[in-house]
Amino acid sequence: MNIFLNKKILLIICGGIAAYKSLEIIRLLKKRGCQVKTILTRNATKFVTPLSAASLSQEKVYTDLFDEDNEAEMDHISLSRWADIVLIAPATANTISKISSGSADDLASTVILASNKDIFLAPAMNVRMWEHPANKDNLIKIKNLGYRIIGPEIGDMACGEYGEGKMTEPNQIIKAIEIFFNNKNQNQKFKAIVTAGPTQEFLDPVRFITNKSSGKQGFAIAESLRDNGFDTTLITGPTNLKDIADIKIIKIKTAKEMLDETLSNLPVDVAIFSAAVADFKINNVGKQKIKKEKNLNLILERNIDILSHISNHNSLRPKLVVGFAAETDNLEKNSKKKLDEKGCDWIIANDVSKSNIGFNSDYNEVNIFYKNMTNELIPITKKKIIAEEIVKRIISQIN
Ligand code: CTP
């Protein structure tokens, strides 16, 4: 099957000597049956002509933000909506810097900022520019924003120097995009459930017991599953997070509601239990508000463990069941115990005693404990990147 057939690629060519290779990218994409529209930045037109790009792509080429003829036909918003993916090749240090600061002063940067699609960058620049701390900071920033970086490679440069900064060869860029499309396509047959956020256990109609979970890690995992083609359901306790497009979101309050919704959304191929479920609920929730008394004695009873229940389900157990562990001490021992006792396939543990990661932070550091393999550390990084790393491992496991 030709995964490229009828795919729409928006190619942005920036001003660098590697721009001449981008003509080869157009040729290879066209050969595979893609529709390719091209934007040339002003500097790119000094390296390749719009006519060459137009001849190879058999499409009009866009060069300036205020081209009234082209704008009337297809403006910067429709250009980015039209595409299945955006490829920036070569991506210069200047373009990377503009993306990282959100600047939009020409057609290319405006389209990038306005895009709602997956964006790939194939950087190309002199080795000193590549290694410059400012460029490295910009790269970290844009990676955290979800941009996908291809290369660069190490080798002889057009400027006569040697080092890292050469644009990845066109056929390798095509290969990276092919892997992306293949993953998306292959995963479309898979269904996933993610639980996230805290639960609330009511004492009376106005009061409840809850915890500090923000839901950020679970939401990031659900989003990454969606980006990789999974049909995703997110079952979440109350959070301040925005809904994620194109996934089914079910909002619950109590652990019992989370369990019921999980069960009624099975079967799935993968279930990830990242919610901080309250371990206890109040026995006999009153219909009236509890009145002030000298002391209040609450009787708490155990909530059912959703992760254990689903892991041990006779008929509805997903192929892959992943639990989380929030630990303040003895992380390895407690996580391994949870892995054994709950019957799941992996436990992803985070140390919630550290103030800079875990609960409410945008950052996390996790240790993945597998049933039959040694554990693996994903060092501190944005929760979004942790989510992508986890989803990568899920994909390789279920495929
Ligand atoms: N979990 C669950 N249902 C519960 C409690 C926990 O599904 N009633 C799941 C969580 O979503 C997580 C895993 O179990 O995937 C571990 O949760 P954690 O709070 O770390 O541990 P507990 O099992 O609650 O044990 P403890 O609080 O004693 O550490």
> Does the pLDDT at position 27 exceed 70?
yes
CB of 47 sitting under 6 A from ligand 1: no
14, 34, 159, 344: which one is catalytic? 159
222 CA distance to ligand 1 middle (Å):
19
Best residue for ligand 1 mutational test, from 307, 322, 346, 351 (most atoms within 8 Å of Cβ): 307
Asked if 300 and 320 count as a contact pair (C-beta separation under 8 A), the reply is: no
Domains 8-185 and 188-398 share a fold: yes
> Does the pLDDT at position 328 exceed 70?
yes
CB of 359 sitting under 6 A from ligand 1: no
> Residue 168 — very low, low, confident or very high, per pLDDT cuts 50/70/90?
very high
Q: Hey, whose CA ends up nearest to atom 17 of ligand 1? A: 325
CB of 332 sitting under 6 A from ligand 1: no
Active-site residue, 14 included = no
| 195 or 357, higher pLDDT | 195
CB of 326 sitting under 6 A from ligand 1: yes
Best residue for ligand 1 mutational test, from 338, 346, 359 (most atoms within 8 Å of Cβ): 338
Specify the pTM: 0.81
Residue 152: alpha-carbon gap to chain centroid:
22
pLDDT cut 70: percent of the chain above it: 97
Query: Helix/strand/coil (H, E, C) string of the chain?
Result: CCCCCCCEEEEEECCCCCHHHHHHHHHHHHHCCCEEEEEECCCHHHCCCHHHHHHHHCCCEECCCCCHHHHHHCCHHHHHHHCCEEEEEEECHHHHHHHHHCCCCCHHHHHHHHCCCEEEEEECCCHHHHHCHHHHHHHHHHHHCCCEECCCEEEECCCCCEEEEECCCHHHHHHHHHHHHHHHHHHCCCEEEEEECECCEECCCCCEECCCCCCHHHHHHHHHHHHCCCEEEEEECCCCCCCCCCCEEEECCCHHHHHHHHHHCCCCCEEEECCECCCEEECCCCCCCCCCCCCCCCCEEECCCHHHHHHCCCCCCCCEEEEEEEECCCHHHHHHHHHHHHCCCEEEEEECCCCCCCCCCCEEEEEEEECCCCCEEEEEEEHHHHHHHHHHHHHHHHC
> Residue 72 — very low, low, confident or very high, per pLDDT cuts 50/70/90?
low
338 CA distance to ligand 1 middle (Å):
8
Homologous superfamily, domain 188-398: CoaB-like (3.40.50.10300)
CB of 301 sitting under 6 A from ligand 1: no
- Closest by CA position to 276, among listed 217, 365, 213: 213
**Mean of pLDDT values over 168-187:** 94
Residues in the chain: 399
276 CA distance to ligand 1 middle (Å):
7
CATH topology of domain 8-185: Rossmann fold (3.40.50)
Q: What is the pLDDT of residues 37-59, one digit of tens each?
A: 999 999 999 999 999 999 999 99
CA distances from 271 to 304, 386, 388 (A): 17, 17, 16
- Closest by CA position to 203, among listed 277, 278, 259, 258: 278
37 CA distance to ligand 1 middle (Å):
50
Per-domain residue ranges of the chain:
8-185, 188-398
> Does the pLDDT at position 74 exceed 70?
no
Mean pLDDT check: name the lowest of 52-61, 95-104, 316-325, 357-366. 357-366
